[in-house]
């Protein structure tokens, strides 16, 4: 890596930022700052029904409170504005038309229930794999159609910067635009990362399985895919992965409980192998000690109750 490194922070405004997302954001920030690279902040609000009003503003405040800044994005500007996906819909339309012109897009009228009934068993985080029912022609007339991408076989493999070699083993034609007109995450992130010149994508390893789909899209656009660096997830005290759905502790809750940014960063850094137990330090102080080889490659359990106790001492 070099000063030409371009990373990104891409939170979804579906609620406050929980500690698992904060931890991954810290790694993304350190990856960029350790090499003097640039960091872009993009709000991924493509799934409008799930967006919580005010969440984007709250997340910006949480990142700043933790000391995680950015070089392009909201309140900073830059050459790739706008930095919200809902303001970039024209780009996604153009991307689909580009793929359609090469025969890589087709209409699909299958319902989710129909796919679940005839598809193979759920494949990890990808869910049921699409069996290709509409590949040659839509299976139902008069229904609103989703648009699917003709996935190459075999699906692309890649070498992850933390997890090593990854081969998908399966390929299915995934959705680019839903039947209700909403663009899919897979398409939006590729179009955005390509337009913003992102050289490495740092994110949670729950997205490992979808990476071959995105690599296939990059190649369909005639572009080279970025490097990928998938950070293991954080589990709560009950062994569940941290999630807004489960009400996992947010950065805002830590702040309200009296924790300092240095305490939260210290706890997150400890789970990454970058700090001693109960050590307090700023994100900036971690830059010189950042060593990717020290990062864990499997999920880490975090008892957030300990953070509350630390905040009260």
Residue 241 per-residue DSSP state? B
Cα dihedral 100, 101, 104, 106 sign:
positive
- Cβ atoms within 10 Å, residue 164: 8
**Separation of alpha carbons 176 and 187, rounded Å:** 6
Inter-residue long-range contacts of 249-253, CB under 8 Å, 24+ positions, other chains counted: 249/18, 249/19, 249/304, 249/307, 250/15, 250/16, 250/17, 250/18, 250/19, 250/62, 251/16, 251/17, 251/18, 251/19, 251/22, 251/62, 251/65, 251/66, 252/16, 252/17, 252/58, 252/62, 253/16
Active-site hit among 60, 244, 266, 271: 244
Torsion of CA 18, 205, 35, 283, to 10 degrees: 20
Cβ–Cβ < 8 Å for 283, 85: no
Q: Residues 6 or more apart from 6 whose CB is under 8 A from it?
A: 32, 37, 38, 39, 40, 196, 197, 198, 199, 200
Name the maximum alpha-carbon separation found in the chain. Answer: 66
Active-site residue, 113 included: no
Cβ–Cβ < 8 Å for 298, 283: no
Helix (H) / strand (E) element for 27: namely helix 19-33
The two tokens of residue 231 are 């950070």
Angle between helices 304-311 and 261-271 (to 10 degrees): 150
Q: Residues 6 or more apart from 113 whose CB is under 8 A from it?
A: none
**Separation of alpha carbons 169 and 124, rounded Å:** 12
Residues annotated as catalytic (active site), given as ranges: 244
């Amino acid at each position: 890596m070099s000063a030409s490194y371009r990373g990104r922070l891409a939170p979804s405004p579906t609620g406050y930022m929980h500690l698992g997302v904060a931890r991954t954001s810290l790694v993304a920030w350190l990856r960029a700052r350790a090499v003097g690279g640039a960091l872009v902040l993009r709000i991924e609000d493509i799934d409008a029904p799930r967006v919580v009003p005010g969440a984007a503003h709250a997340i910006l405040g949480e990142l700043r409170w933790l000391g995680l800044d950015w070089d392009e994005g909201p309140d900073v500007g830059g050459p790739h504005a706008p930095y919200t996906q809902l303001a970039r819909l024209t780009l996604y339309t153009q991307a689909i038309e580009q793929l359609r012109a090469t025969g890589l897009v087709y209409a699909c009228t299958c319902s989710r229930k129909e796919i679940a009934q005839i598809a193979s068993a759920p494949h990890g985080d990808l869910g049921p794999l699409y069996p290709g029912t509409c590949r040659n022609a839509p299976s139902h007339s008069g229904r609103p159609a989703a648009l699917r991408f003709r996935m190459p076989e075999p699906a692309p493999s890649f070498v992850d910067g933390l997890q090593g070699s990854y081969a998908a083993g399966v390929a299915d034609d995934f959705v680019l635009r839903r039947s209700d007109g909403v663009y899919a995450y897979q398409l939006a992130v590729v179009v955005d990362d390509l337009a913003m010149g992102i050289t490495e994508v740092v994110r949670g390893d729950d997205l490992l399985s979808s990476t071959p789909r995105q690599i296939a899209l990059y190649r369909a656009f005639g572009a080279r895919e970025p490097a990928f660096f998938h950070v293991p997830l954080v589990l709560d005290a009950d062994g569940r992965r941290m999630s807004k759905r489960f009400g996992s502790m947010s950065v805002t809750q830590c702040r309200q409980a009296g924790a300092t940014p240095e305490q939260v960063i210290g706890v997150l850094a400890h789970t990454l192998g970058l700090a001693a137990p109960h050590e307090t330090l700023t994100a900036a102080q971690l830059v010189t000690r950042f060593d990717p080889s020290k990062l864990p490659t499997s999920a880490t359990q975090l008892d957030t109750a300990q953070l509350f106790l630390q905040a009260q001492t």
